[in-house]
Amino acid sequence: MPKQPFPSERQTFCRGLSRGIYPAYLRDQVDYDYVDKLSDTERQWLAAFTEEYLRGWWVKAETQVHPVELLRQSNAAHQRLRRHQDPLAFASVRDDIAHDLLREEAEKPSRGQVEDQIVAAIDQRRRRERG
C-alpha cells in the first residue's frame, strides 16, 4: 500500500491538537494557545508532530513527520509511561504485580526465620563445645 503524501486526509483535520484524544496524563503537554495564529499547513504539521511524538504511534499509509526509528523510541517511552502513570492501564497488570510480590515475600526467609537459624547455629556450636 503506497503512502499518502503529507498531509493525508486524516491529518488535515488536525486531531492531534485536541486534548481530548490524549490520555489524562498527557493532556497537559498539549497546550497550544497560539494555534489560531498558524496557517493551515503549519497546524497540520504541528498536529501530526504532536500526535506522533506524544502518542508514539502512526498510520502506515501516511507520511510521518518523524523518522521511523524515533517513532519506535517514542512508542516505547509512551508504553512505559502508560504502564506506570495511567491507572486504567495499570489496573490490568496490578494483580500480576501483587501476586509476584506476594510470591517473592513468601520465598524470602522472614526476619524471625533468620533469627531462629542463627540461634540454632549458636546453640549447636555451644553443644559441641561442651560435649
The Cα–Cα gap between 82 and 73 comes to: 14
Domain shared by 99 and 48, yes or no: no
**Cell numbers standing for residue 46:** 504541528
pLDDT at position 21: 84
Task: Domain of residue 124: give its range.
Answer: 95-131
Total domains present in the chain: 2
Contact 45, 39 (CB under 8 A): no
pLDDT at position 23: 79
**pTM greater than 0.85 (yes/no):** no
pLDDT at position 93: 65
Contact 52, 74 (CB under 8 A): yes
Question: Does residue 121 lie in a domain region?
Answer: yes
Task: Please write the tens of the pLDDT for every residue from 36-58.
Answer: 999 999 999 998 888 887 776 67
